[in-house]
Structure 1
Amino acid sequence: MDVFSFGSNSSCQLAQPSGEDAHEPRQVELAAGSGVVASNGNHTLMLDGDGRLFAAGCNSHGQCFADGAVLPQFARVGAGDRRVTHCAGGWAFSVVVYDDGTGPEVHTAGHGPAGELGLGPTTPQSRGARVAEFPPAGRRVAQVAAGMAHVAVLLDDGQVWGWGNGRKGQLGDARGPCWRPVCVWPGGAAAVACGREFTVVADAAGKIAVLGAAKHGLHDVPAGAAMGSPGPSPLAGWTSVQAGWTTIHVVVDGRIVAWGANGHGQLPPYAAGDGPRFTRVAVGSEHTLAATADGRVYAWGWGEHGNCGPGGDVVIRRFAEVFCARTPLLLLGAGCATSWIGVAAL
Structure 2
Amino acid sequence: MASYELLCFGSNGNGQLGVGHDEDLMLPQLSFQSDGVGIKKVSCGGNHSLLLLEDGSLYWCGDNSSGQCASSDIKISLEWIPIPGKFLDIACGWEVTIVIDEDGWVKTRGRGDKGELGVPRLKHSTEWIDLFRCEDPKGSRCYATFQHCVVVVPEKIYGWGNNRKLQVCDDSALKIIEEPKVIYEGDTSDIEMALGKDFTCVLSRTENKLIIKGSLAKELPELISQLSHDFGSIAKIDSMWSSLHILTGERKLISIGRGSHGQFLEEPLPSETLDFVTGSEHGVVTTADMKVYCWGWGEHGNCGSLFKTETNPINDKSNVISPLNMIGKYEKVVSIFGGCATTWLVLVT
Q: Which has the higher strand share?
A: 2
- Matches of 2:22 and 2:197 in 1, distance apart? 25
Q: Deviation of residue 304 (structure 1)?
A: 0.9
Aligned in 2, Cα 1:161/1:235: closer, same or farther, shift over 3 Å? farther
Q: Which amino acid aligns with 2:45?
A: N
- Counterpart of 1:28 in structure 2 is 31
Matched, 1:96 2:99: yes
- Matches of 1:219 and 1:304 in 2, distance apart? 33
- Counterpart of 2:82 in structure 1 is 76
Q: Deviation of residue 235 (structure 1)?
A: 5.1
Q: Which amino acid aligns with 1:333?
A: F
- Counterpart of 2:213 in structure 1 is 211
- Matches of 2:272 and 2:54 in 1, distance apart? 27
* Structure 1 segments unaligned to the other structure (5+ residues): 226-230
Q: Deviation of residue 255 (structure 1)?
A: 3.7
Q: Deviation of residue 296 (structure 1)?
A: 0.2
- Counterpart of 2:163 in structure 1 is 166
- Matches of 1:81 and 1:147 in 2, distance apart? 24
Higher mean alpha-carbon deviation, 193-202 vs 246-255, is at: 246-255
Matched, 1:248 2:244: yes
Does the 8 Å CA contact 1:295/1:324 hold for their aligned counterparts?
yes
Matched residues, percent identical?
28
- Counterpart of 1:63 in structure 2 is 68
- Counterpart of 1:298 in structure 2 is 293
- Matches of 1:286 and 1:28 in 2, distance apart? 22
Q: Deviation of residue 215 (structure 1)?
A: 8.5
Does the 8 Å CA contact 1:140/1:156 hold for their aligned counterparts?
no
Aligned in 2, Cα 1:186/1:49: closer, same or farther, shift over 3 Å? same
Does the 8 Å CA contact 2:45/2:96 hold for their aligned counterparts?
no
Q: Which has the higher helix share?
A: 2
* Structure 2 segments unaligned to the other structure (5+ residues): 307-317
Q: Deviation of residue 330 (structure 1)?
A: 1.6
Q: Which amino acid aligns with 1:72?
A: L
- Matches of 1:4 and 1:219 in 2, distance apart? 39
- Counterpart of 2:9 in structure 1 is 6
1:83-232 aligned at under 5 Å gives the runs 84-100=87-103, 104-121=104-121, 123-135=122-134, 141-157=139-155, 159-174=156-171, 175-189=174-188, 190-204=191-205, 205-214=207-216, 217=219, 220-223=222-225
Aligned in 2, Cα 1:206/1:128: closer, same or farther, shift over 3 Å? farther
Q: Deviation of residue 131 (structure 1)?
A: 3.4
Aligned in 2, Cα 1:45/1:166: closer, same or farther, shift over 3 Å? same
Q: Deviation of residue 140 (structure 1)?
A: 6.2
- Counterpart of 1:228 in structure 2 is none
SS where residue 170 of structure 1 aligns?
Answer: coil
Q: Which amino acid aligns with 2:183?
A: V
TM-score by length of structure 2 reads 0.86
Q: Which amino acid aligns with 1:303?
A: G
- Matches of 2:223 and 2:342 in 1, distance apart? 27
Q: Which amino acid aligns with 2:346?
A: G
TM-score by length of structure 1 reads 0.87
Aligned in 2, Cα 1:49/1:144: closer, same or farther, shift over 3 Å? same
Q: Which amino acid aligns with 2:64?
A: N
SS where residue 173 of structure 1 aligns?
Answer: coil
Higher mean alpha-carbon deviation, 123-132 vs 48-57, is at: 123-132
- Counterpart of 1:17 in structure 2 is 20
Aligned in 2, Cα 1:36/1:138: closer, same or farther, shift over 3 Å? closer
Aligned in 2, Cα 1:221/1:154: closer, same or farther, shift over 3 Å? farther
Equivalent position to 1:331, from 305, 329, 335: 335
Aligned alpha-carbon RMSD (Å)? 2.3
Aligned in 2, Cα 1:235/1:120: closer, same or farther, shift over 3 Å? farther
Aligned in 2, Cα 1:60/1:220: closer, same or farther, shift over 3 Å? farther
- Matches of 1:144 and 1:343 in 2, distance apart? 24
Does the 8 Å CA contact 1:222/1:234 hold for their aligned counterparts?
no
